[in-house]
Amino acid sequence: MNDSASRAAFERARKVIPGGVNSPVRAFLAVGGTPRFIARAAGPYLYDLDGNELVDLICSWGPMLLGHAHPEVLAAVGAAAAHGTSYGAPTLAEVELAEAIIERTPVEEVRLVSSGTEATMSVLRLARGITGRDMIIKFAGCYHGHVDALLAAAGSGVATLAHRAGAGPALPGSPGVTAATTADTVVLSYNDRVGVREAFTTYGDRIAAVITEAAAGNMGVVPPGVEDGVGFNTFLADLCHANGALFISDEVMTGFRVTRSGQYGIDGVEPDLMTFGKVMGGGFPAAAFGGRADLMQHLAPVGGVYQAGTLSGNPVATSAGLATLRLATDEVYAHVDRVSAALQTEVHAALSAAGVPHVIQAAGNLFSVFFVSGVDSVPDYATASGQSTTAYSAFFHAMLDQGVYLPPSAYEGWFLSSAHDDGAMDRIVTALPAAARAAAA
């Protein structure tokens, strides 16, 4: 497959943009090779600068639930833009988007922001402001955006505890994140209830909140485990409430994607505060955080916790999100569920036929493939880290050569859309056997 135009663009990009990209995973460092530069997209397909048509299995890392360039979303965006692109004053569309989120989830009030990172950063400030406490518990392998306090492996005061719980860094430690910023962040192992109990025993009255992905999707897909009939999210919420802490569910990735309401639609756990993004922005920079009214009332201008944004509730972004949520009917979710289940079956068959050890895990229609051996499930980041990134890279490139664009990292979910029709699915399924053989080599 010709990629000369992408290569030239990457060379040019690297001279003016660090690493040639504006978000690290796009650079293909984890899989090697040259990233494809995209010229346009339609339905389930990306078209690169060389004119290659690629079946898209990342859907902009989640937002494009309806596929690319959906005509009704584009019409809504065009109509909104024609009325001006930003006012810095309130609009009715913001109220409608807030109402649409509230109607689908347990939150009672919503504040719109421009990125998932901004949502998680703001919700931590709010949780700390409400409780008057400093410490935050997060889980290794859960990504909540590039908020300093959440890019922590573990502050020195909690390193022993984190180590005991088998936790590892959520991301490699980043220079520029100061020890003081992360000193109040406790990193524990996902699905490890003993570790969480121990943290509350040790730090109970200092913990402001536990933040977790509603179902982990950033170490590959790791759903919350169920023990004795009690799901991990219920366990966390109960423990928070017994200790005067807040339970924050990050549904930036899962919200309005894995079901109409997100992971909440699967396990029904009511968090105190939630974060949203991706699908609710319809491919534009829009995100949100929300929660119980009594908690959200602590935000300025009503309460004392300051939070603001020049482009928050931007009318064009809001119109895209609103159109997307309105078009995301039960049929859309039924279709995405169906193609996701079919694809999981086909991937499992192809990898098994080629003798490639693997585990496939899903949260609703979001799934990922771990190239691990010797385990039959992946409950946490330590286990996910045991996978063969070499096998994944071979698999990834064999799929790309055949026109299928997978996530360029073994630690990511595979995203589908309502536009993934029989033609797109056939293309993926046809490509699988050769890719599985490449992974086996």
Pairing of strands 109-113, 185-189: unpaired
Whether residue 35 has a cis bond before it, omega within 30° of 0: no
Considering only 36, 104, 133, 144, the residue that binds ligand PLP (CB under 6 A) is: 144
Q: Count other Cβ atoms within 10 Å, centred on residue 113.
A: 27
CB of residue 334 vs ligand PLP: minimum separation in angstroms? Answer: 24
For ligand PLP, which is the closer residue by CB, 240 or 252? 252
For ligand PLP, which is the closer residue by CB, 141 or 155? 141
Site size with ligand PLP, rule: CB under 6 A: 15
Q: Does 116 bind ligand PLP (CB under 6 A)?
A: yes
Considering only 65, 76, 253, 279, the residue that binds ligand PLP (CB under 6 A) is: 253
For ligand PLP, which is the closer residue by CB, 43 or 145? 145
d(CA 256, CA 247): 20
Reading the block at residue 273, the tokens are 């505060």
d(CA 144, CA 170): 10
Q: Which of residues 195-224 bind ligand PLP (CB under 6 A)?
A: 213, 218
CB of residue 152 vs ligand PLP: minimum separation in angstroms? Answer: 15
CB of residue 185 vs ligand PLP: minimum separation in angstroms? Answer: 15
Considering only 3, 56, 94, 250, the residue that binds ligand PLP (CB under 6 A) is: 250
Position of minimal CB gap to ligand PLP: 116
Half-sphere exposure of 175 (CA within 13 A, CB side): 0
Q: Which of residues 294-353 bind ligand PLP (CB under 6 A)?
A: none
d(CA 227, CA 231): 6
Considering only 52, 120, 249, 261, the residue that binds ligand PLP (CB under 6 A) is: 120
Q: Which of residues 228-247 bind ligand PLP (CB under 6 A)?
A: none
From the candidates 143, 203, 264, 333, which is the catalytic residue?
143
Beta strands in 228-349 (DSSP E): 230-231, 246-250, 273-276, 287-291
CB of residue 59 vs ligand PLP: minimum separation in angstroms? Answer: 12
**If phi over 0 gives left and psi between -120 and 50 gives alpha, with beta otherwise, what is residue 266?**
alpha
Q: What is the CA radius of gyration of the chain?
A: 21
Is residue 75 helix, strand or coil? helix
The total number of residues written for the chain in this structure: 441
Residue 138 bears catalytic tag: no
Residue 278 bears catalytic tag: yes
For ligand PLP, which is the closer residue by CB, 97 or 394? 97
Residue 250 bears catalytic tag: yes
d(CA 129, CA 139): 22
Considering only 20, 277, 282, 291, the residue that binds ligand PLP (CB under 6 A) is: 277
**If phi over 0 gives left and psi between -120 and 50 gives alpha, with beta otherwise, what is residue 142?**
beta
Give the C-alpha distances (Å, rounded to integers) separating 111 from 79, 87, 101: 24, 17, 11
Q: Per-residue DSSP letters for 416-436?
A: --TT--HHHHHHHHHHHHHHH
CB of residue 161 vs ligand PLP: minimum separation in angstroms? Answer: 24
CB of residue 283 vs ligand PLP: minimum separation in angstroms? Answer: 12
For ligand PLP, which is the closer residue by CB, 3 or 250? 250
Catalytic residues: 143, 250, 278
Q: Which residues bind ligand PLP (CB under 6 A)?
A: 61, 115-117, 120, 143-145, 213, 218, 250, 252-253, 277, 287
